[in-house]
Chains A and B, each alone.
Chain A
Amino acid sequence: MLEASGMMVFYENMLALNNISMNCESDQIVGVFGANSAGKSTLMYALSGIILDIKKKELMAGGERITVAGDVLFDGKALTGVKPSKRAKMGIVLCPERRRIFKESTVLENLKIGGYLASPAKARDTLEFVFSVFPVLDKLKKRIGGFLSGGEQQMLAIGRALMAQPKILLLDEPLLGLSPLMQAMLIRSTRDIRDQKKISIIITEQYARPVLPIVDYAYVLENGSAVLEGTRNDLMDNPDVRAAYFGI
């Protein structure tokens, strides 16, 4: 469904992504694991096209020179140079790191803004779906986004991304800074979303253990390179991986 090959991203002369090739099939959950600065977020930005926006802004402000190379194919269509808003319309929706919810708007407004691309009927259906997956949001509908707890904000961010009718949802570090209980809940919800909505999900995380049970396939990034990849069981059985990423 989403296929990247030879992805390279440079920030000035710093290589942030080194020849990454990855693949996500329909209805799959694909994990991307790696430490800080391994290139997870850059990969997400490259897939969703946000990197093009960052590049444009940097260029205008005379900041860092960003170079992007490689091909991304989505449903067989090449995405090179396609604007991020267009990619979102095609169905690649990013739920960004640190959630970035609209802090001055209410929960309901956040979700409605997320439904910008959806038809009114679709938006209503999805809103119901989001409330069924995250019942807490239904109760907090009128609350201002900035007053939510971290876990609630993360649910809101995922719900908002769902409102944009993704075919493939990119979750960038959804578990960051959350309690183990909340992490487990979010992971369960992620799987439910995949099962019920029939969408593909790419999920990145520093720490693989909480996420690994639900992924079908995973990649391990280190300094911008994919050092390992395999199915869940392949990675589970690999002693290096267990030591380095799972803390087992």
Chain B
Amino acid sequence: MEILIYGTINSVALALYALGFAMVYGVSRLPNFAHGALYVLSGFITWTVLNTLGLNYFLSILVSFAATAIIGALIYQFVLIRIRGMEISEIIASYAIALAILEGMRWAGFKGMNYTLPVFIEGSTTIAGVTVDVHRLIVVAAGTALFGLLWVFTRYTRIGLALRGMAQDERAALMLGIDSDVMAVVAMGMGSLMAAMAAALLLPLGNIVVESGYNVLILAIAVCIVGGIGSWGGAVLAAFIIGFAQILTVVFIGPHFQQVVALFAIIITLILKPSGLFGQQKELEERV
């Protein structure tokens, strides 16, 4: 039972990490290596607004959402748009941005263990004999709601449908008047917003440390590779596979092997099915 509950919580957390990454890649084929950096950045924005400006916690989170989304969109509009379509350059440039953000924050003094955000609701409850923090349950509920909202957004709204069209065939979308540059900026802004949402939900569970930017990136990439890069459904399924694998590892092998699981999953996927569970990267499969 413990495994089931904590496995679910862990899986939802992984899916939250990966969602923004998967979305940006799915729409504009941009592997956004700055995803983890945006995640941590949004945490520090919330912390700063909360503690130095003294705004209410909820408002601080909203400020960090807006700020992160705008920063993401600006990164795209002013840097990444110039190297659109060249994946290696996109990886290098976005990773450089990630380094600049993360190491910049470290340089600015955000280091150590003293940066924490309060949980939404204190306390814990017992489900089927297992003690769980209320906040972790909020994470699962809010995460599920977010996936649901995203599903509705991509199926029933004009912008969401346009994003999906562009994800499938950019030039065909262009012929219908969907401006790919504008849409890519929108996608990057939304991907950053999702990083910020993940941060708001998950950072209160631990410390805000610069290093988690790298961890989040690795986990997001692991989930996307296992799920099949560019496939959102695959990403959620992969999050559950890796999430449960991690918890099982913690329970039966040892907590310090938890991080290895994600990397191991990448290796196994690349050996067995390089395109991932639901990947559309057929050319990769043929090449390998």
Q: How large is the interface on B (under 10, 10 to 19, 20 to 34, 35 or more residues)?
A: 20 to 34
Interface positions of A (Cβ within 8 A of B): 48, 50, 53, 57, 60-61, 83-85, 88-89, 93-96, 100-105, 109, 112-117, 160-161, 163-164
Complex contact B85–A116 (CB within 8 A): no
B175 touches A116 (CB 8 A): no
A85-B174 contact given A109-B155, A109-B164, CB 8 Å threshold:
yes
Specify which chain B residues have a CB less than 8 angstroms from the CB of A105 in the assembled complex: 164-165, 168
In the bound assembly, the distance between CA atoms of A61 and B169 in angstroms comes to: 18
| Contact sample, A vs B, 22 pairs, CB 8 Å cutoff | A50-B175, A53-B174, A53-B180, A57-B85, A60-B84, A61-B85, A83-B179, A84-B174, A96-B172, A96-B175, A101-B172, A102-B164, A105-B164, A105-B165, A109-B155, A113-B164, A113-B173, A113-B176, A116-B161, A116-B162, A116-B177, A164-B177
Quick check: B172 and A102 within 8 Å, CB to CB? yes
Within 8 A of A (CB), among B58-110: 82-86
Does B158 count as interface, using CB distance less than 8 angstroms? yes
Please indicate which of the listed interface residues A100, A104, A116 has the most CB atoms of chain B within 10 Å of its own CB. Answer: A116
Tell me the bound Cα distance from A88 to B179 in angstroms: 10
Contacts of B84 in A (CB 8 A): 60
Q: Please encode chain B, from 145 to 181, with 1 for each CB lying within 8 Å of some chain A CB and 0 for all others.
A: 0000000000100100110110011011111111110
Q: Please report the C-alpha to C-alpha distance between residue A57 and residue B182 in the assembled complex, in whole angstroms.
A: 16
Closest 4 CB pairs of A and B: A88-B177, A113-B165, A85-B179, A100-B172
Apart from A85-B180, A89-B177, list 16 A-B contacts with CB within 8 A. A60-B84, A84-B174, A88-B177, A93-B175, A95-B175, A100-B169, A100-B175, A101-B172, A115-B158, A116-B158, A116-B161, A116-B162, A116-B165, A163-B176, A164-B176, A164-B177
The answer to whether A85 and B161 touch (CB under 8 A), given A100-B171, A104-B168, is: no
